[in-house]
Every structure is written in C-alpha cells, then in structure tokens.
Amino acid sequence: MAIIALVSAKGSPGVTTSALACALAWHRRLVLAECDPAGGSILAGYLGGQLDGPRGIGELAVGELRDGNLETAFWSQLVDLDAPRRERLLLPGLVDPAQGGSVTPLWQRFADYFNALDRGTPGYDVLVDCGRLHVTGPPWPLLRAASVVLLVTRAQLPDLSGTRAVVTAIERDFAEHRVPPGTLRLLLVGGGHGRAEISRALKLPVIARLPHDPRTAGVLALGGTVRTGRPLMRAAAALEVPIGALLERRQARLAWPVQQGVPDAV
C-alpha cells in the first residue's frame, strides 16, 4: 500500500490518535511516521517518555543534512511498538517545533524514501501523521506521494466548515502536481452529521467513521493497555479493508490502458 497519509484542517481532531490506532490494529507490516511540523506526541504520550536519548525524525533530518546518511540511519531511529517482532515501527516526531527548519527542506527526500519501503525485504507500508495542514512548512511532498490521503474531521458543523477550505486547497494542489484522482478521502471522527450528508456537502467520499471512544483515546494519548475489542480499535482495524480495496481499484485502472494496448498473440 506504500504511503497512507492522515491530515486535518485545524486542531488536529484525532489525527495522531487515529493513526496510532490503525498502526496497532492493522495486519500489514508498517512504519508510523510522525511528520507533523508542530511536533510529535507519541513518544511522550503513549510511550510515556520511556526511551533513553533523542530519537526520531528530527535526529534523522540533522544527520541527513550533515552526512546524507538517511538509508543507513533510518532504522536506528525507529521504535518497535510490538517488540521484538519489528512489524509495527514508529518514527517519532519532532520534540521541539523549532526543529522544523531542519525537516522542512527534506520532506521530498523523506517522501521518496518512504515510497521505496514497500519494495524492500521485508516490505513496509508507511502511515504518515501529517497533523494540521495550516502550519509553517507543511509536508506537501508527503501528501502528493501518498497512495491515499485521509482528511480527518469531526462531523460537526464548525469542523466541517473549516474542512471545506482544506479540501479545496488539497484538490487544487493535487491538480497542479498531477496527483492521481481519487487519492483524497474523508475520515470522520465521532458522531454528528451522517456520512452521505457530509459527502454531498464536501463533494468528497467518506471512507469510514471512527467512533467516539474516550477511554481508548485516553490510552493512546497517555499510555496504558490497548484493548483490541474496544470500539475505536475495532473500527481502526476495519479501516484497513476499504483502504486496501481503494488501492486495488486504482491499480486496476492504471493497468487497464497498458493491458488494452498489448497485441493479441498470433
């Protein structure tokens, strides 16, 4: 599946929580990369600050700018969320938003590297937490490189109003950079207006809705035992299915003209 990016309009309504829930629930081997320019929260929150020494995308960026050693340094900056299996890995985000100046020039470099991870041995998908779009140095190259971009929004009117402008901005940027159509989808968080109503209003398909589950959200934000039977975790696990189906349909569409152009065997 390569890169799946999550982004929000304002206030990051559940982007990190949604991304972490998916990372812990999905069956595919993946790397969860915290690429929010405003800073990461999983290291201090879910992991409780238990790691010794700095680690994450900030350290990776400094090393890349100094030595150009991304390929060799990348794996040493990851945290195994399911140790020792190395099937769910975390690239922690910035500890200090002031480090954003080191990361911003490298978004394209990271996008190219992430895109190649699914072709490795073993291969990894990359789930990217991009945080809010309207920040200094947003990771546009990661969004353009993603196979699927999930725009996370609450289903309440104030949030949907802000989301409309972000949909327009993303679609304009994707058109300018020739991102394949159908990349952008809505991911709803919590109750509120219905899926069909929101899809019509924003002119964008809704891929799924994650339920309001404050107990599980609290564990994902502050640490504790994640219970896979909780509503949020069940919904996050189920999200893997429509995303996989979406990518399979796209691959079939992209392959169709090539297949039609193959001459018949004599």
Query: Whole-angstrom Cα distance, residue 10 to residue 99?
Result: 21
Among the ranges given (48-62, 65-79, 164-178, 193-207), the one the predictor scored with the smallest mean pLDDT: 48-62
Query: For residue 263, is pLDDT > 50?
Result: no
Domain total of the chain: 1
Domain span at residue 9 reads 3-255
- What is the domain-level CATH number for residue 164? 3.40.50.300
Tell me if 262 is assigned to some domain.
Answer: no
Beta bridge partners of 153: 188
Q: Is the pLDDT of residue 52 over 80?
A: no
Distance linking the first and last C-alpha atoms of the chain? 36
Residue 159 has pLDDT above 70, yes or no: yes
Instruction: Tell me: pLDDT of 90 over 60.
Output: yes
For residue 11, being part of any structural domain is answered with yes
Strand residue runs (E) in the chain = 3-8, 30-34, 79-80, 88-91, 125-132, 148-155, 184-192, 206-210
| Domain assignment of residue 8, yes or no | yes
**What is the value of pTM for the model shown?**
0.92
> What is the rounded distance in angstroms from the CA atom of residue 172 to the CA atom of residue 246?
21
**Over the chain, what is the mean pLDDT?**
90
Residue given tokens 């504790």 in the structure block: 224
In a domain, residue 266? The reply is no
User: Is residue 265 assigned to a domain?
Assistant: no
pLDDT at 161: 86
Q: How far is residue 36's CA from residue 88's CA, in Å, rounded to a whole number?
A: 19
Residue 264 lies in a domain: no
Asked whether residue 263 is domain-assigned, the answer is: no
Q: What burial letters (b/e) apply to 177-204, b meaning 16+ CB within 10 Å?
A: eebeeebbbbbbbbebeeeeebbeebeb
Is the pLDDT at 235 greater than 80, yes or no? yes
What does the buried/exposed string (b/e) look like for 28-66 if buried means 16 or more CB atoms within 10 Å of the residue's CB? bbbbbbbbbbbbbbbbbbbeeeeeeeebbbbbbbbbbee
Three-class DSSP category at 120 = coil
Would residue 260 count as lying in a domain?
Answer: no
Mean local confidence (pLDDT), 123-135: 92
Chain segment 203-214, per-residue pLDDT in tens: 999 999 999 999
- Across residues 152-160, what is the average pLDDT? 90
Q: What is the pLDDT of residues 236-258, one digit of tens each?
A: 999 999 999 988 887 777 666 55
